[in-house]
Each structure stands twice: as C-alpha cells, then as structure tokens.
Amino acid sequence: MVLLENDSFLTELTRLFQKCRTSGSVAITLKKYDGRTKPVPRKGHPVNYEPADNKCLLRASDGKKKISTVVNLQHHVAMKLLMFSALHYNYFLVMQLVHLYLVIKGCPLL
C-alpha cells in the first residue's frame, strides 16, 4: 500500500476510476487514524504513546493497486468536497456509458 499526499491521492484515484470504467470496481474506505504505526500493547504492559490530533485514513483499491492518504482535521472538509466531485464525475460517466449501451442494444430505458 502506498501512502500518498492528498493531491497525488486524488490524481491516482482518478486514474483508478478511469482504469476501472468499463469493467471492475474501486473500493474506498475511511477510518479514524490516531498516528499509531505499531499495534496496541496488551494489558499489563506500559503504554508510552500520546495520540496525535484527529486524522482520517483514506484507502482506495481496485483489487490490484492500493493507495492511501492521511487527512488532517483542518483539511478534511476540502478533501471531502474534492472526493465527492471525483466520485460524482466518474459516476455520471459510467451511467452515460450504460445509457449508450442500452440505446445501441435497443432495450427500453429503465
């Protein structure tokens, strides 16, 4: 899994959508991230970890390629809007392809 900056994550996400436009799928997950890179210690062991500010871990995968990014609390609104615009744009492109396919096949529209 590749950890990218926010801008390069959106660029790679758009490439994943373009690659999977005709066949395949892209899975996007969102998870709370506190900055840990090691597992949580068991009971009885000392905890020497101070959590950082709230962050979100965004992951996207097409089954073969996996990308991820960490979004800070200050940038999450802007990132959410950019993610929505990328999803919205690619969704309507796929729906146009489906509509065109149905028109060519002569099937009635849904």
Q: Where are the domains of the chain?
A: 2-36+51-105
CA–CA distance, 104 with 26 (Å, rounded to integer):
26
User: Residues of 18-47 as b/e, b for ≥16 C-beta within 10 angstroms?
Assistant: eebeeeeebeeeeeeeeeeeeeeeeeeeee
- Name the pLDDT band for 47 (thresholds 50, 70, 90): low
Length of the chain (residues):
110
Tell me the per-residue pLDDT of 62-85, one tens digit each, with 9 for 90 and over.
Answer: 999 999 999 988 888 888 888 888
The CATH fold of domain 2-36+51-105: 3.30.720
CA–CA distance, 39 with 47 (Å, rounded to integer):
11
Going by C-alpha positions, the residue among 96, 88, 107 that lies closest to residue 22 is 96
Which has the higher per-residue pLDDT, 40 or 65? 65
Mean pLDDT of 1-28: 88
Rounded to two decimals, the pTM is: 0.74
